[in-house]
């Protein structure tokens, strides 16, 4: 029982980070109807920004997260306004090709700058734990989980309560009506993509604290974020949290019972099952 509770806790903590990783992809997909294949590369770049701030300048990783968010926000805005906006009204296949090309370019630029070696972000408190009974909670994982949930709920509140958030939701629901109310879609689309990139940057920094960074992790992270967004439901930020935690828990038990080799098999097996049983996602609205 103790082992099962420990594995469950580890899965939940990992799932919170998964939710934050997928939130930016879900936002961009839901508003812009763009499946951003470069999302994992943006997460990877955010991780390297935090790693560089920590290793080169001695900045605490959590204090470096805003730097990663701003850097990726600027990059995301430039990518959408300068590249993706040119084909935003074209077939989805065009945006898939462009974002795939961006993923390749960003991957090789990261390799050129940081080499292909694995990097880790290890602050002095990385190995500290707190025990509740016989259950051990890694403090770094707990802090990562708490921050991921805070940002996810903050994003949800932003979409519901702020003027910009309401404009984003209105544009996603009905572009013509939004334009009649004075919404500028080009700026709003770029803002949405930039917010998604900023969330990816923060997620990358947190990911680098609990895992390893490498220029080639982007494609794997994109696939995982895609699965989480589908499992939770694209039209629900809270669904992304549920999807991330569900995936994290199942992966933790799969690693225990089946071995690490089968973790991705279980993840995408859950995706297929959800698509069959509930295509709109666990918390998505049905037609």
Chain segment 173-185, per-residue pLDDT in tens: 766 666 666 677 7
155, 27 contact by CB (below 8 A) = yes
287 falls within a domain = no
Q: Pick from 6-20, 22-36, 40-54, 85-99 the range whose average pLDDT is largest.
A: 40-54
156 falls within a domain = yes
205, 121 contact by CB (below 8 A) = yes
pLDDT at 34: 84
193, 32 contact by CB (below 8 A) = yes
CB neighbour list of residue 154: distance below 8 Å, 6 or more residues apart: none
Longest dimension (CA), the chain: 60
Instruction: For residues 236-260, give the mean pLDDT.
Output: 85
Instruction: For residues 270-274, give the mean pLDDT.
Output: 86
Q: Which of 64-73, 120-129, 275-284 has the lowest mean pLDDT?
A: 275-284
DSSP 8-state assignment for residue 232: H
198 falls within a domain = yes
Query: What single string gives the DSSP state of each residue in 35-90?
Result: --TTHHHHHHHHHHHHHHHHHHH---HHHHHHHHHHHHHHHHHHHHHHTGGGGTTS
* Confidence grade of residue 271 (pLDDT, cut at 50, 70, 90): confident
* Higher-pLDDT residue of 145, 74: 74
pLDDT at 160: 82
283 falls within a domain = no
* Higher-pLDDT residue of 150, 74: 74
Residue 200 to residues 16, 136, 221, Cα–Cα distance (Å):
14, 28, 11
**Phi, psi (5° rounding) for residue 58?**
70, 20
Domain containing residue 146: CATH number: 1.10.3470
11 falls within a domain = yes
Residue 251 CA to residue 259 CA, distance in Å, equals 10
% residues pLDDT > 70 (the chain): 93
Residue 98 CA to residue 84 CA, distance in Å, equals 8
Q: Across the chain, what does the average pLDDT equal?
A: 86
Residue 39 belongs to what domain range? Answer: 2-277
Tokens of 51: 């790693």
pLDDT at 38: 95
- Quick count: other Cβ atoms within 10 Å of Cβ 9? 20
pLDDT at 180: 62
Query: What single string gives the DSSP state of each residue in 79-130?
Result: HHHHTGGGGTTS-HHHHHHHHHHHHHHHHHHHHHHH-SS-B----TTTT-EE
286 falls within a domain = no
Instruction: For residues 107-116, give the mean pLDDT.
Output: 93
53 falls within a domain = yes
Q: Tens digits of per-residue pLDDT, 223-237?
A: 999 888 888 876 666
145 falls within a domain = yes
* Higher-pLDDT residue of 54, 259: 54
- Quick count: other Cβ atoms within 10 Å of Cβ 244? 31
* Higher-pLDDT residue of 44, 155: 44
Q: How many domains does the chain divide into? A: 1
Residue 80 CA to residue 87 CA, distance in Å, equals 10
pLDDT at 285: 60
């Amino acid at each position: 029982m103790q082992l099962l509770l420990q594995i469950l806790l580890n899965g939940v903590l990992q799932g919170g980070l998964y939710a934050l990783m997928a939130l930016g992809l879900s936002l961009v997909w839901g508003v812009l109807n763009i499946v951003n294949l470069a999302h994992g590369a943006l997460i990877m770049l955010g991780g390297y920004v935090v790693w560089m701030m920590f290793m080169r300048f001695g900045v605490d990783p959590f204090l470096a997260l805003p730097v990663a968010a701003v850097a990726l926000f600027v990059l995301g805005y430039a990518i959408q306004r300068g590249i993706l906006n040119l084909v935003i009204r074209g077939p989805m296949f065009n945006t898939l090709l462009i974002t795939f090309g961006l993923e390749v370019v960003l991957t090789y630029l990261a390799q050129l700058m940081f080499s292909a070696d694995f990097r880790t972000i290890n602050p002095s408190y990385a190995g500290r734990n707190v025990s509740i009974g016989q259950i051990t909670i890694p403090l770094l994982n707990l802090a990562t989980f708490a921050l991921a949930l805070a940002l996810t709920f903050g994003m949800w509140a932003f979409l519901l309560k702020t003027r910009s958030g309401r404009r984003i939701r209105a544009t996603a629901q009905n572009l013509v009506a939004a334009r009649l109310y004075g919404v500028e879609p080009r700026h709003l689309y770029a803002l949405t993509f930039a917010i998604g990139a900023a969330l990816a940057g923060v997620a990358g920094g947190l990911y680098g604290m609990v895992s390893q960074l490498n220029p080639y992790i982007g494609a794997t992270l994109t696939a995982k974020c895609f699965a989480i967004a589908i499992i939770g439901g694209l039209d629900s930020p809270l669904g992304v949290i549920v999807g991330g935690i569900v995936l994290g828990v199942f992966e933790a038990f799969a690693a225990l019972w089946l071995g690490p080799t089968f973790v991705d098999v279980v993840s995408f097996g859950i995706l297929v099952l959800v698509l069959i049983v509930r295509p709109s996602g666990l918390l998505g609205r049905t037609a």
